[in-house]
Amino acid sequence: MHKGKVYIVGAGPGDEKLITVYGRECIERADVIIYDRLVSKQLLAYAKEEAELLYCGKEPKKHGNIQQQIHEWLVQYALQGKTVVRLKGGDPFMFGRGGEEAEHLRAHGIPYEIVPGVTAGVAAPAYAGIPVTHRNYAGGVTFIAGHQSGERDRIRWDALSQATDTIVFYMGMANIAYICEQLKRHGKDEHTPVAVIEWATTNKQRTVVGTLQTIVDIVNEKQLSSPAIIVVGDVVRLHDQLKWVEETW
């Protein structure tokens, strides 16, 4: 039996124009596209008319057995000899479970490729005029999955608070108060600048800026919610000077 091939493609952070050329080419020749909740629907317009589109979006805290279904689809359609695109928001290997999907494909002998994408942890700050590194402000950046809390918290807050200049949290909005409290408790000054960027790189983008002490109240007042990126560090001070996209939309 002729096996198909799976392309695990990063769709980018939201703006459909930010997908790579190769990522778009994969979409154009796919027989099956399995796509996430945050993937721009405009990208699906590049699919050929007969392509099968399978939605596998995961709502926050409602993942259930969706990941298992994704694994089954990837193998099922590849074994039918089809070209399959697993279209994932951002980059497949940045908090996207792309590594698990690649492992599953390898275990079943399915050929695959990883097509990197622009990740929100870099793109969201860029669209808000915040460079995650800067010669005068930050020589390093750390990316953290922010949905960890309580007994599930595996973050070494003492090390994180002191070891890096810029911290970028993905999926942290539900725990933003906890994040700020832990950073302060483990040595970050309460006046450290913080930005929250909602729906980054889309025409719904909003950015608010505060400090570890004030950002939770600001987020609540402005009613920001997921999807959003949280940026902590002195680079946030550049937002007012370098912001560009929200002034043009």
Active-site entry in 31, 36, 173, 188: 36
Q: Residue 80 — left, alpha, or beta (φ > 0 → left; ψ -120 to 50 → alpha)? A: alpha
Q: In this predicted structure, what is the pLDDT of residue 150?
A: 57
- From residue 108, alpha-carbon distances to 2, 8, 102, 160, 162 in Å are 14, 16, 10, 38, 43
The per-residue pLDDT for range 12-52, each reduced to its tens digit, is 999 999 999 999 999 999 999 999 999 999 999 999 999 99
For every residue of 60-107, DSSP letters joined together read TTB-TTHHHHHHHHHHHHHHTT-EEEEEESB-TTSSSSHHHHHHHHHH
For residue 248, which amino acid is it?
T
Distance in angstroms (rounded) separating the CA atoms of residues 119 and 218? 25
Query: What residue has token string 């402005």?
Result: 222
Q: In this predicted structure, what is the pLDDT of residue 156?
A: 93
Q: What is the mean pLDDT of the chain?
A: 94
The pTM (predicted TM-score) of the whole model is 0.93
Q: How far is CA 83 from the centre of its chain?
A: 25
At CB < 8 A and 24+ separation, what contacts does 209-214 make?
A: 209/236, 209/239, 209/240, 212/180, 212/183, 212/184, 212/188, 213/180, 213/184
Q: In this predicted structure, what is the pLDDT of residue 36?
A: 94
Q: In this predicted structure, what is the pLDDT of residue 61?
A: 56
Both tokens of residue 78? 């590849």
Strands 83-88 and 5-10: parallel
Active-site entry in 31, 171, 173, 188: 171
Active-site entry in 58, 82, 184, 243: 58
For residue 38, which amino acid is it?
L
Question: Is 171 in the active site?
Answer: yes
Question: Is 61 in the active site?
Answer: no
- From residue 188, alpha-carbon distances to 134, 185, 211, 235 in Å are 19, 7, 11, 15
Spell out, as residue ranges, where the chain has pLDDT lower than 50. none
Q: In this predicted structure, what is the pLDDT of residue 60?
A: 59
- Asked if residue 155 lies in contact with residue 181, where contact means CB atoms within 8 angstroms, the answer is no
Q: What is the CA radius of gyration of the chain?
A: 19
Which residue segments constitute the domains of the chain, with CATH numbers given?
5-115 (3.40.1010.10), 120-242 (3.30.950.10)
Q: In this predicted structure, what is the pLDDT of residue 1?
A: 62
